[in-house]
Amino acid sequence: MAKKHEMYVERREQGDYAVRRPGASRASTVEPTQAKAIAWATEHGAKHPLVERVRHTSVGHPDKWRSSGK
């Protein structure tokens, strides 16, 4: 079962960022930047929103998730 305050920040094809709750079919909000999406999720109850990687690195790929750690 998902945690009540868990949220995901994911990049959309349009280049902006959607904030979703687990299992939601629609985004709670869409923000123009990843930082604004993380801030919105934090303000609305997510202690550490899970953020989708949007670039390739030596330790991760776009299909991986990481905690925002804020």
Which amino acid is it at 18?
A: A
pLDDT of residue 1: 45
Q: What pLDDT was estimated at residue 39? A: 95
Q: Which amino acid is at 8?
A: Y
Q: In the Cβ-directed half-sphere of 51, how many Cα atoms lie within 13 Å?
A: 22
Contacts 24+ apart (CB under 8 A), 24-31: none
Could you read off the pLDDT of 12-48 as tens digits, one per residue?
A: 989 999 999 999 999 999 999 999 999 999 999 888 8
State the residue for tokens 């687990």.
22
- At residue 56, the pLDDT reads 63
51 pLDDT band (50/70/90 cuts)?
confident
User: Count of CB atoms within 10 A of residue 2's CB?
Assistant: 11
